[in-house]
C-alpha cells in the first residue's frame, strides 16, 4: 500500500496543480489529453486514482472497467469565478475532473495498453449539458510526464 502511495504522488500533484491553476474564462476547447503507452496493464494507475479520490471532497465515478473519473470540489473563490464566468448554478457546483481511460494498443509494433489522461473543469448549467473548461498548462503536462515515467509508461505525442 505504501508503494502505491509513493508511485502515485505524481497523480495527486497533477490534480492539485489543476485545481490551483488560474481559472480564466475560455471557450470550450480540447487538447488537454495526454497519452501514454504501457507494456503491461497499468492496474496501479487505477488503484492510485481510486485511493486519491477516497475523501469527502472527492467522488470516484467508474464508467467501465478501464475508465474512471475523479470529481474534486474546488476552492470557494475558483468555484464562484467559474459559476459567474460560465453561467453556472449554485445548486450543483463546478468540479475538477481527472480521468483515466485504458485500451489495448500498439506502439512501434509492440502490443500493450494505451492510456489517455485528461483533466478539465465541469461547470453544471441550469439547462443543457455542463460546460467543460479545458486548460492547456505546461506545468500539468510536465507533471503527467513525470507520473508516466514513475509508473513505467512512455508518453505518446497526440498525433500518433
31 exposure class (CB count in 10 Å sphere: 0-12, 13-18, 19+) = exposed
Q: What is the pLDDT of residue 159?
A: 62
Would you state the pLDDT for residue 136?
74
Question: Is the distance from CB of 131 to CB of 51 less than 8 angstroms?
Answer: no
3-state secondary structure of 137: coil
Cβ atoms of 98 and 121 closer than 8 Å: no
d(CA 88, CA 121): 12
Q: Which residues are paired to 154 by β-bridges?
A: 37
**Helices and strands (H and E) in the chain: how many:** 5, 7
What averages of pLDDT result for each successive group of 10 residues across the chain (160 residues)? 39 43 36 84 83 89 92 94 96 92 91 92 95 82 76 77
- String of DSSP letters for 21-58: S------------EEEEESS--HHHHHHHHHHT-STTE
Only one residue has cell 453561467, namely 87
Structure confidence at residue 47 (pLDDT):
83
**How many CA atoms lie within 13 Å of 107's alpha carbon, on the beta-carbon side?**
19
Residue 113: strand, helix, or coil: strand
CATH number for the domain formed by residue range(s) 2-156: 3.30.310
Give the whole-angstrom CA distance, residue 106 versus residue 45.
Answer: 19
Amino acid at each position: 500500500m505504501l508503494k502505491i502511495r509513493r508511485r502515485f504522488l505524481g497523480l495527486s500533484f497533477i490534480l492539485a496543480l489543476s485545481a490551483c491553476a488560474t481559472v480564466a474564462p475560455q471557450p470550450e476547447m480540447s487538447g488537454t489529453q495526454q497519452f501514454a503507452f504501457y507494456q503491461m496493464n497499468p492496474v496501479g494507475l487505477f488503484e492510485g486514482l481510486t485511493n486519491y479520490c477516497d475523501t469527502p471532497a472527492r467522488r470516484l465515478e467508474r464508467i467501465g472497467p478501464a475508465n474512471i473519473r475523479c470529481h474534486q470540489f474546488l476552492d470557494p473563490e475558483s468555484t464562484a469565478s467559474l459559476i459567474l464566468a460560465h453561467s453556472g448554478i449554485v445548486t450543483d457546483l463546478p468540479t475538477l475532473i481527472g480521468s483515466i481511460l485504458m485500451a489495448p494498443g500498439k506502439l512501434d509494433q509492440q502490443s500493450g495498453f494505451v492510456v489517455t489522461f485528461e483533466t478539465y473543469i465541469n461547470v453544471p448549467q441550469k439547462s443543457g449539458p455542463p460546460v467543460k473548461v479545458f486548460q492547456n498548462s505546461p506545468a500539468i503536462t510536465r507533471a503527467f510526464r513525470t507520473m508516466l515515467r514513475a509508473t513505467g509508461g512512455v508518453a505518446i505525442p497526440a498525433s500518433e
